[in-house]
Amino acid sequence: MAEEAAQEHPGPSAPRPVRCIVKLGGAAITNKGELESINEESLRSACAQLRQAMSESEGDGAPEKVLGMDWSKRHGDPADPAVDAEWIAGMAGLGLDTNFIVVHGAGSFGHFQASRSGVHKGGLHSTLVKAGFVATRISVTSLNQEIVRALAREGIPSVGMSPFTCGWSTSQRKIASANASQIIQSLHAGFVPVLHGDAVLDELLDCTILSGDVIIRHLAQLLSPKYVVFLTDVHGVYDRPPTDPNAVLLKEIEVDDKGSWSIVKPALLQGNNKGVEISVAAHDTTGGMETKILEAAVIARLGIDVYITKAGTEHSLRALKGDVSSDSEDWLGTVIRSSK
């Protein structure tokens, strides 16, 4: 099935517009250089900021009591988890606008297994690829479980959803089938769906890796969120890899109706048509920052603003709240928007 055809059947209609689709980038929430290692502080702060962005109360300064929803025993915990049943029974509601979708990347989970076995290139007749497919899914779904638990500890009613088990598939790496009805029903029921980049079946290649960035673009086309946020480990898109001390942060990029993009801010780079220089880690199977920019441009062309910024900063909190206007000089990140 062609990608366009896949988009014609989103399933039941969404009750109200999705407020935000957010990518928790693998580079931010994991230690990318260390196999299967979560950056606990970054994950905790991203989840706390998501809660703040969802909070319906203005806040009188007093810390809100959080209804923790992770009632499972954590590895190494001596005691059973505490469940404050009396307090829960007296609660009127969660006080959260949960109309968000979270998608996370793989970081140091999944990419390593996929690149070692070549899952992204396909060929399930090879035992190595088959084993790598299984290993990639074990790795990335274990990260998904940890992220769902971290969100649940912040009182966010999150539910994990894997593209592979929801029946999503590709054809030559492009989304061919991606039924979103379960996502829409979950939103409708007040849950926050938590998807992730995944290993999926491919009509022509047998299998491939579907990036979280591509999933976000697809969901944005289907559900028209008010804005999209990519949280990662750098402040945004630079004119060259940010490891270069002369790299300049691109603060605003415009996308025209043909999909071509141009730098608006900083003014000194306006009209620069040399493009952006990007480096991608050797074990990255989905194209790194390059994929993100391409997918972000498609989203922006729909008239949906995209914010790319660093997780765990005041700038990420503002982005999650949708509080970034075109004249926000003090906001650090890249805004990608339509020129119209």
Ligand X SMILES: Nc1ncnc2c1ncn2[C@@H]1O[C@H](COP(=O)(O)OP(=O)(O)OP(=O)(O)O)[C@@H](O)[C@H]1O
Q: List residues near ligand IP8 by CB under 6 A.
A: 26, 105-106, 110-111, 114, 136, 140, 197-199, 209, 211-213, 285-286
Residue with tokens 């709240």: 321
Question: Contact with ligand X (CB under 6 A): which of 68, 157, 241, 322?
Answer: 241
Q: How far apart are CA 154 and CA 32, in angstroms?
A: 24
- Judge contact between 166 and 75, C-beta under 8 A: no
Nearer to ligand IP8, 230 or 307 (CB): 230
Smallest separation (angstroms) from ligand X to the CB of 26: 2
Choose the binding region for ligand X from 125-133, 136-144, 170-178, 237-245 (rule: CB under 6 A).
237-245
Stretch that binds ligand X, among 45-53, 141-149, 275-283, 296-304 (CB under 6 A): 275-283
Name the burial class of residue 24, with classes exposed (0-12), middle (13-18) and buried (19+) by CB atoms within 10 angstroms of its CB.
buried
Residue 35 touching ligand X (CB under 6 A): no
Tell whether residue 139 is a contact of ligand X (CB under 6 A): no
Among 6, 14, 18, 26, binds ligand X (CB under 6 A): 26
Residue 338 CB-half CA count within 13 A: 12
309: tokens are 């910024």
Determine the Cα–Cα distance for residues 272 and 21; give it in Å rounded to an integer: 30
132 binds ligand X (CB under 6 A): no
Burial class (CB in 10 A: 0-12, 13-18, 19+), 197: buried
Number of other CB atoms surrounding residue 247 within 10 Å: 15
- Is 106 annotated in a binding site? The answer is yes
Q: Is 206 annotated as a binding residue?
A: no
> Per-residue string for binding with ligand X, 100-119, x by CB under 6 A?
-----xxx------------
256 a known binding residue? no
Q: Structure tokens of 299? A: 């989203």
Q: Binding segment for ligand X among 20-28, 72-80, 85-93, 144-152 (CB under 6 A)?
A: 20-28
Rounded to the nearest whole angstrom, what is the least distance from the CB of residue 286 to ligand IP8 in the complex?
3
DSSP characters over 267-331: GGGTT--S-------TT-SS-HHHHHHHHHHHHHHTT-EEEEEETTSHHHHHHHHT---TT-TT-
212 is in an annotated binding site: yes
Applying CB under 6 A, the residues found at the interface with ligand X are 25-28, 105-107, 212, 232-234, 237-238, 240-242, 276-279, 286, 288-289, 292
